[in-house]
Amino acid sequence: MPLGKAVRHHWLLEDDVVFLNHGSFGACPKPVLDVQSHWRHRLELDPVRFMTRELPAQLPVARQALSSFLNCDPDDLVLVQNATTGANAVLRSLAAQFKPGDELLTTSQAYTATHQTLDYVANLTGAVVVQAYVPFPIDDPQQVVDALVSKITPRTKFCAVDHVTSLTGVVFPVENIIPIFKERNIPIMIDGAHAPGHVHVDITALDADFYAGNCHKWLYAPKGSGILWVSKKYQDQIHATVISCEPGSDFQTKFSWTGSVDPSGWFSIAAGIDFMKSLGVEAIRKHANDLILGARQKITSALGTSYGAPPEMLANLCTILLPVEGPVSPKYSPILHDRLYDEYNIQVPAMAPDGKACIRFSANAYNEASEYDTLLAALQEILQNK
Ligand SMILES: Cc1ncc(COP(=O)(O)O)c(C=O)c1O
């Protein structure tokens, strides 16, 4: 099946916008939104019946569909609002065990919410946050492994690592990182906010202790479709970020009623998976990866800059350096983003890892090569005029 423009009508995305930021919030296709509307409609037909009967009946159905896609036991998986909520549940639960001087490890490229939650827990407990510096540009996935290993000490009591980073769009070698922490009995959480749908995720094979993620970015689910997987070993220690109204201490019950929520997004996850399968999971990934690799080659050679990461660390997101001297100001990202959007109708984030001027573009089923030419032309104009 042809992808690109031929399938763009499945999305509500505005025609005149070059949409190269699937990464930040995903983009939900119309057939999936229709399924969500169906559930919202059912809810309002009789909210009491829905919340007391249909919700408990449908939750396991949603978890089953997702666990088949991610290859895990549905009993170990709970639905939350987003990856941030999932990661908060883990860290704030484990805080009870951290002592002054314990070290909580992460990388310099972790997502802001992870840094802030680690800081919060460290302030609460006297633990300290340790950052393993991961460079950008990066040449080899082993650099991530080495950076983390160099920071492990007898005091390391937790590690949080991104599966795909927000800052640089790079895929970390989590399959090589996890065993290092498991061998040392250090709890390890993978932040998979960008992973399900984007890269192949086999939770059982990964065998981490915790996996927080999103279905609303790359799995085409509506917003508010987050997941948290917890290994059986830790389930009795983990509580929901918002304590459940439902009495009971088993893992599923603790996450079953964290206040009244609209569950229509969760109930549309299966439709997101089906939609992805209808276009071809591997076909989408290949289409997008081809676009990414082609675009970065064209843009970097035209601008005279370097790649940022080797191809094996790239899936459907890519960050490249721009030819701008020295560290940029904190205003660089919003200013460049706004210029590209307001003057050229291009939706793409500007990033600044280590103060280096970069741009991060994504590719998805609905994108095609000419859109990256538009991005290049806009960047050339902006850079010429500064
Ligand atoms: C690596 C990473 N972790 C966590 C998040 C947070 O996702 P959410 O806002 O859906 O919780 C993001 C969002 O972009 C992310 O890139």
Question: 114, 161, 191: which to mutate for ligand 1, most atoms within 8 A of CB?
Answer: 191
Cα 45 to averaged position of ligand 1 atoms, centre (Å): 34
- Token pair belonging to 302: 């035209």
Q: How far is CA 26 from CA 2, 14, 137, 358, in A?
A: 21, 14, 25, 21
Residue-wise pLDDT tens digits, 320-378: 999 999 899 999 999 999 999 999 999 999 999 999 999 999 999 999 999 999 999 99
Q: How far is CA 39 from CA 42, 237, 267, 381, in A?
A: 5, 33, 7, 47
3-class SS of residue 349: coil
Cα 98 to averaged position of ligand 1 atoms, centre (Å): 24
Q: How far is CA 88 from CA 63, 189, 210, in A?
A: 20, 11, 11
Cα 357 to averaged position of ligand 1 atoms, centre (Å): 21
- CATH number of the domain bearing residue 353: 3.90.1150.10
357 shares its domain with 223? no
151 shares its domain with 97? yes
Residue-wise pLDDT tens digits, 62-97: 999 999 999 999 999 999 999 999 999 999 999 999
386: pLDDT strictly greater than 80: no
Nearest CA to ligand 1 atom 10: 82
pLDDT of 357 reads 97
| Cα 361 off chain centre by | 15
Angle at 166 between CA 171 and CA 262, to 5 degrees: 110
Cα 198 to averaged position of ligand 1 atoms, centre (Å): 14
- CATH number of the domain bearing residue 232: 3.40.640.10
313 shares its domain with 248? no
Paired strand residues for 103: 128, 156
Sign of CA dihedral 188, 189, 195, 197: positive
Average pLDDT of the residues in 258-275:
97
Cα–Cα distance measured from residue 77 to residue 67, given in angstroms and rounded to the nearest whole number: 7
**Closest Cα to residue 62, out of 231, 352, 254, 268?**
268
Cα–Cα distance measured from residue 291 to residue 321, given in angstroms and rounded to the nearest whole number: 18
Backbone angles phi, psi at 226, to 5 degrees: -100, 160
3-class SS of residue 360: strand
182 shares its domain with 223? yes
pLDDT confidence band for 143 (50 / 70 / 90):
very high
53 shares its domain with 78? yes
Phi-psi bin for 126: left (phi > 0), alpha (psi -120 to 50), beta? left
Q: Of 274, 296, 328, which residue sits at a domain end?
A: 274
Q: Is 133 among the domain residues?
A: yes
pLDDT of 261 reads 93
Q: Of 233, 256, 274, which residue sits at a domain end?
A: 274
254 shares its domain with 297? no
Cα–Cα distance measured from residue 311 to residue 213, given in angstroms and rounded to the nearest whole number: 23
Q: What ligand 1 atom has the least distance to the C-alpha of 23?
A: 14
Q: Is 105 among the domain residues?
A: yes
248 shares its domain with 231? yes
Cα–Cα distance measured from residue 366 to residue 321, given in angstroms and rounded to the nearest whole number: 25
Residue-wise pLDDT tens digits, 162-206: 999 999 999 999 999 999 999 999 999 999 999 999 999 999 999
Cα 385 to averaged position of ligand 1 atoms, centre (Å): 34
Q: Is 112 among the domain residues?
A: yes
264 shares its domain with 342? no
Cα 345 to averaged position of ligand 1 atoms, centre (Å): 24
Q: Which residues line ligand 1 (CB under 6 A)?
A: 24, 82-84, 111, 113, 162, 165-166, 191, 193-194, 214
Q: Is 214 among the domain residues?
A: yes
3-class SS of residue 45: helix
Average pLDDT of the residues in 54-67:
97
Q: Is 27 among the domain residues?
A: no
Q: What ligand 1 atom has the least distance to the C-alpha of 165?
A: 1
Nearest CA to ligand 1 atom 4: 193
211: pLDDT strictly greater than 70: yes
54 shares its domain with 161? yes
Cα–Cα distance measured from residue 181 to residue 183, given in angstroms and rounded to the nearest whole number: 5
3-class SS of residue 162: strand
Residue-wise pLDDT tens digits, 299-323: 999 999 988 999 999 999 999 999 9
Q: Of 274, 306, 329, which residue sits at a domain end?
A: 274
78 shares its domain with 211? yes
Amino acid at 141: P
Question: 172, 194, 215, 316: which to mutate for ligand 1, most atoms within 8 A of CB?
Answer: 194
Residue-wise pLDDT tens digits, 90-122: 999 999 999 999 999 999 999 999 999 999 999
- Give residue 244's domain range: 32-274
CB 365 within 8 A of CB 24: no
Q: Which residues, in sequence order, are CB contacts of 41 under 8 Å at separation 6+?
A: none
Q: What ligand 1 atom has the least distance to the C-alpha of 83?
A: 11
Nearest CA to ligand 1 atom 12: 193
Nearest CA to ligand 1 atom 16: 166
Q: Report the number of distinct structural domains present in the chain.
A: 2
1: pLDDT strictly greater than 80: no
78 shares its domain with 16? no
Q: Is 216 among the domain residues?
A: yes
CB 299 within 8 A of CB 373: no
Q: Is 26 among the domain residues?
A: no
Cα 381 to averaged position of ligand 1 atoms, centre (Å): 31
Amino acid at 126: G
Cα–Cα distance measured from residue 271 to residue 47, given in angstroms and rounded to the nearest whole number: 22
3-class SS of residue 279: helix
266 shares its domain with 179? yes
3-class SS of residue 190: strand
Residue-wise pLDDT tens digits, 227-253: 999 999 999 999 999 998 888 889 999
